[in-house]
Amino acid sequence: MAHVRIWVHTVWGTKKRTPFMHSKSKRIDLFKHIKSYAKEKKIYLDFINGEADHVHCLISIACDQNIAQIMKLLKGESAHHAHEMKLFAPDFDWADDYYAVSVSQSHVEAVRDYIKNQESHHKKKTFAEECQEFITKYGFVRMLG
């Protein structure tokens, strides 16, 4: 039996960063659904939170999973669920892109806290600013260039 513990912090936003998820209660309902669906698909989603225009997840990837597969499942099914339940505007959708960075075991609690405190965090910084910070901090520009 393989024993694998690979933590990944994932972030994805709404199409055109539109704040579709402005209703906190509906946003929480969607996050609960994403967590439930992840469990059904044997994806260990440790923590989820976000704001009106984006989502953060802390995920532990199993040996037979990959990030692209997990993102496709979570984003695709959650958009379908949001439409089916009429949670947000009819044109609600996720952007195609996402961010995913590895997290060492020693930083898991700090990432949980970061995800947990999204509301207060985004009083100081927009999602666009956060994206730019991720791009710079994790060297995504160098990878794209």
CATH class of 6-144: alpha beta
- The helix (run of H) or strand (run of E) holding residue 55 is strand 54-61
For the chain, the structural domain boundaries read 6-144
Tens digits of per-residue pLDDT, 16-47? Answer: 999 999 999 999 999 999 999 999 999 999 99
Tens digits of per-residue pLDDT, 77-111? Answer: 999 999 999 999 999 999 999 999 999 999 999 99
Distances (CA, A) of 58 to 9, 21, 88, 93: 5, 20, 24, 21
